[in-house]
Copies of this chain bind each other. A is one copy, B any other.
Amino acid sequence: MESRNIRLAVIPGDGIGTEVVAEGLKVLEAVGTKIEPTHYDLGAARYHRTGETLPDAVLEELRGYDAILLGAVGDPSVPPGILERDLLLRLRFEFDHYVNLRPVKLFPGVATPLADTPAENIDMIVVREGTEGLYAGTGGAMRRGTPHEIATQESLNTAYGVERVVRYAFEKATTRPRKKLTLVHKTNVLTFAGDLWQRTVNRLAAEYPDVTTDYCHIDAASMFFVTQPERFDVVVTDNLFGDIITDLGAAIAGGIGLAASGNINPERSAPSMFEPVHGSAPDIAGQGKADPTATILSVAMLLDHLGLHAEAAKVEQAVADDILERLTGWAGRTTHEIGDDITARVSG
């Protein structure tokens, strides 16, 4: 990497977001990087204070960073969709985070809720499209509030948008021992979009003869995540299906407290953004109950993305060791304590 300091924008956000991000930053500092964090107070509090979600000037400022670390956004005091659409999704769209990378891997020592499933059977990576589909936000309502209301939502899929994320998934599959790529969609009902996705996978498959490709409907995939997770290696899917199966993936891999994600701009034309899969969890916010591990693992993905591979590996190893230790000594550590324990390991 460059010798100048790496500039990191930090958006703790709402609820437990602020608590887990604090621990992520502690680990980042302890692992010894030249990363210089700047905090942005975006989220529910700012929205209530000023009515702003993501002012254009802040968006442009954020564009200048090398990466973004985000906690979580969303609060029951704000109508559903406002912070999600105007802050989180706007960042994903404006910074062209077309790859939403979400590993689903069971760490040794973590209990999966699935009976009789050996740890090695849960080891996949979901490549979720991040800038299209039903997340485009198009649609509308007519005669709202009357018995004649209609409300629509539109899924927008482009050859450009689908090809680039499918290509990324193929590349990812070539780096994995099993080299298997599964498209998850609903081609038998969403025939227009499904046809585009399936044709794109078929066409690119010719360029990647080492990769085995496969198809699974989203309904069947949800079932197989529970009954035969070993079917999956790299999964590529659209924005909404990816949202659903990565929460399901988090569940089978030991819970949302461990699920990390990267919103990646592979061309680096804008900063990539790293965040835990979990939300702001207002019900447990401020109580020190949140597990910061998902954020710390997101920090490892961030380090990796910035080319700091040794540091990334160190953080991941520290998490793995910490998790193994939970087997013997876990007894309700607080957010801080988990952060401290992992920090001690990376400093050691």
Contacts and interface: CB of A to CB of B under 8 A. Distances in A.
A134 B251 CA distance: 26
Interface in A177-225: 186-196, 198-199, 218-220, 222-225
A84 interface: yes
B158 A150 contact: yes
A112 B113 CA distance: 11
A28 B122 CA distance: 42
A155 B227 CA distance: 30
Q: Which of A80, A151, A199 has the most CB of B within 10 A?
A: A151
A146 B158 CA distance: 10
A329 interface: no
A190 B222 CA distance: 21
Interface stretch (A19-27, A238-246, A319-327): A238-246
A93 interface: no
26 contacts: A80-B198, A81-B194, A111-B115, A113-B226, A134-B190, A143-B159, A144-B195, A146-B159, A151-B157, A151-B158, A151-B192, A151-B193, A151-B195, A152-B156, A152-B192, A153-B155, A186-B243, A189-B243, A222-B251, A223-B247, A223-B251, A223-B256, A226-B248, A226-B251, A227-B255, A244-B244
Interface of A: 74, 80-81, 84-85, 89, 111-117, 134-135, 137, 139-141, 143-160, 163, 186-196, 198-199, 218-220, 222-227, 240, 243-248, 250-252, 255-256, 279
B250 A187 contact: no
Q: Which of A155, A191, A199, A245 counts the most B-chain CB atoms under 10 A from its CB?
A: A191
B223 A189 contact: no
Contact of A152 (B154, B163, B224): B154
